């Protein structure tokens, strides 16, 4: 049965990935293909493969959008306004500089243009008032034998400094004891689903009736 025909279907949802550009590509590979491509293929970014994610009594069609390098994305806030429903911030587990870079740039993520998170496929139109996009922090590493530089204390400090952000976990392709990428994305959608449950209807714009005066 097509996903949209499922009575529990809510909407198609895209997660905008910013942060470590290499980890963005690896996370997208793991999510869409189940493995990491060893060489860069410029066509892969155009073969988005959304997947079904179930949360409570709802199901979403979820895809990942590669926002490119964090600093470049910040130069074009329209990227956030057009694509962001949830912002996924990535870091490289094997790079201390990766998490430090996020510390320097996190506050520059623009707010939603009208301080609202809109749920695009809802009818009637609904929104949740928010001063910021839902932000999810995800770690990734490849190859799995690269030396860890980002420690638990680094993550705890980052989350303490940014309590509005949610840490979804870390995914490593060669270690089944770590959360899989699907579990990490599931955690991100659960955050979004909680925000959606607080949505309120957009007040309709009152109709204006114009009366044309007759000329003499």
Structure tokens at 203: 């007040």
pLDDT tens, position by position, 27-48: 888 888 777 766 555 445 445 6
> How many other C-beta atoms lie within 10 A of the C-beta of residue 79?
18
Residue 87's DSSP bridge partners are 16, 135
Phi, psi of 15 (to 5 degrees): -100, 120
Virtual CA dihedral for 42, 48, 51, 56, nearest 10 degrees?
110
DSSP calls for 97-155 = HHHHHHHHHGGGSPPPTTSEEEETT-SS-EEEE-SS--EEEEEE-SSTTSPP-S-HHHH
Tell me what the mean pLDDT of segment 137-155 comes to.
86
Where residue 68 falls among pLDDT bands split at 50, 70, 90? Answer: low
CA–CA separation, 172 and 30 (whole Å): 9
Q: What is the pLDDT of residue 23?
A: 83
Where residue 154 falls among pLDDT bands split at 50, 70, 90? Answer: very high
Q: What is the pLDDT of residue 176?
A: 40
pLDDT tens, position by position, 87-106: 888 899 999 988 888 877 78
Where residue 194 falls among pLDDT bands split at 50, 70, 90? Answer: very high
Determine whether 114 is exposed, middle or buried from the number of CB atoms within 10 Å of its CB (0-12, 13-18, 19+): exposed
From 51, 69, 58, 56, select the one nearest 15 (Cα to Cα). Answer: 51
Instruction: Kindly tell me if the per-residue pLDDT of 1 is higher than 50.
Output: no
Q: If you search the block for the tokens 């449950």, which residue do you land on?
A: 197
Q: What is the pLDDT of residue 216?
A: 45
Where residue 173 falls among pLDDT bands split at 50, 70, 90? Answer: low
Where residue 166 falls among pLDDT bands split at 50, 70, 90? Answer: very high
Where residue 111 falls among pLDDT bands split at 50, 70, 90? Answer: confident
Where does residue 130 fall: left (phi above 0), alpha (psi -120 to 50 degrees), or beta otherwise? beta
Q: What percent of the chain has pLDDT over 70?
A: 69
Q: What percent of the chain has pLDDT over 90?
A: 13
By mean pLDDT, which of 3-7, 53-57, 59-63, 205-209 is the weakest?
205-209
CA–CA separation, 196 and 198 (whole Å): 5
């Amino acid at each position: 049965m097509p996903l949209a025909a499922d009575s529990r279907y809510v909407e198609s949802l895209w997660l905008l990935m910013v942060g470590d550009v290499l980890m963005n590509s690896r996370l997208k590979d793991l999510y869409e293909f189940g493995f990491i491509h060893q060489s860069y293929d410029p066509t892969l970014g155009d073969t988005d493969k959304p997947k079904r994610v179930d949360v409570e009594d709802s199901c979403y069609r979820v895809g990942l959008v590669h926002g490119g390098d964090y600093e470049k994305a910040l130069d074009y806030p329209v990227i956030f306004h057009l694509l962001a429903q949830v912002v996924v911030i990535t870091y490289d587990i094997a790079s201390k500089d990766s998490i430090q870079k996020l510390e320097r740039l996190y506050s520059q993520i623009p707010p939603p243009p009208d301080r609202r998170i809109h749920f695009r496929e809802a009818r009637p139109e609904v929104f949740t008032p928010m001063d910021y996009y839902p932000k999810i922090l995800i770690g990734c590493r490849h190859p799995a034998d690269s030396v860890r530089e980002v420690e638990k204390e680094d993550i705890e400090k980052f989350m303490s400094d940014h309590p509005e952000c949610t840490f979804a976990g870390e995914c490593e392709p060669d270690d089944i004891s770590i959360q899989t990428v699907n579990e990490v994305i599931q955690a991100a959608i659960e955050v979004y689903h909680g925000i959606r449950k607080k949505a309120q209807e957009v007040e309709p714009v009152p109709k204006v009736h114009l009366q044309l005066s007759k000329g003499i």
